[in-house]
Amino acid sequence: MLLTDRAIGRIRDMIQSGELPPGGKLPPEQQLAADLAVSRNLVREAVKALVVTRVLEIRRGDGTYVTSLEPALLLDGVASAVELVRGDRLLELTEVRKLIEPAATGLAATRVSADALAEIAAHLDAMRAARDDVEELNRHDAEFHRLIGVAAGNPTLAALLEGISGPTVRGRIWRGLVDDRVADRTIAEHEAIFYALVDGDALLAQAAALAHVATTERWLRSHLTPDEAAG
């Protein structure tokens, strides 16, 4: 594994230096092994690892290429990883969201376009219509937040937020299943966020987003069992 890690590090160095730019094609396996002074088996293992992390992609019959290296692509694996989180680690992720999402929402208030506001409004309307359908309500809830992340104008921030929102979306569904009053509260919190975006008020948008995530956090803290809270 140490030798494989070294091979991975050497390929990453080639990418970082610009020797292998985004979209660039790797040398043939035999040549790459010689360049890295490792065996072809180690090159294969290194390439496999970098394919998993979306740094490289294999095009059948053509070769191996560096991906676009766009944040949304590189951070895509975050969502899969955090979906495995349980217990107090879910609370940790909610705390991370509480730190990041208000800032992103405030940024979106200063950058959101009229078209984006219209899309966000459509999902808010859909949430109102789906107040008795927990899964549908949460689907539009997640899209509401995704669009705000995009509206912030920072693809890295948007990708990170989308990656960590999976467990919290699950938490909202869980909450909705046991608390028949959650729909009205959830919709009211989203309305507060939306109207702050409409007003272009960054501070109010941050405050509304913070209040919304804090509601989820409080609910999780009160409903985790002792075993779950212990991880």
- CA 196, CA 106: separation in Å to the nearest integer? 9
pLDDT of residue 225: 56
157 — pLDDT class (breaks 50, 70, 90): very high
pLDDT of residue 103: 96
Average pLDDT of the chain to the nearest whole number: 88
Helix axes 182-199, 134-151, angle to 10 degrees: 20
Q: Where do the domains of the chain lie?
A: 2-69, 74-229
Are 147 and 104 a contacting pair, CB within 8 Å?
Answer: no
- CA 108, CA 17: separation in Å to the nearest integer? 33
**Tens-digit pLDDT profile for residues 98-150:** 999 999 999 999 999 999 999 999 999 999 999 888 888 888 998 999 999 99
Write out the H or E segment, with its range, that includes residue 56: strand 56-59
**Tens-digit pLDDT profile for residues 190-211:** 999 999 999 999 999 999 999 9
- CA 111, CA 70: separation in Å to the nearest integer? 21
CATH 1.10.10.10 fits 2-69, yes or no: yes
HSE-up of 103 (CA within 13 Å, CB side)?
10
> What are the start-end ranges of the H helices in 37-154?
40-52, 71-74, 76-82, 88-111, 114-129, 134-151
CATH 2.120.10.30 fits 74-229, yes or no: no
Distances (CA, A) of 112 to 143, 182, 203, 206, 214: 15, 28, 15, 14, 24
- CA 36, CA 157: separation in Å to the nearest integer? 34
**58 DSSP β-pair partners:** 64
Stretch 54-59: mean pLDDT, rounded?
Answer: 94
Nearest to 217 by CA among 32, 92, 69: 92
* pLDDT of 229 higher than 50: no
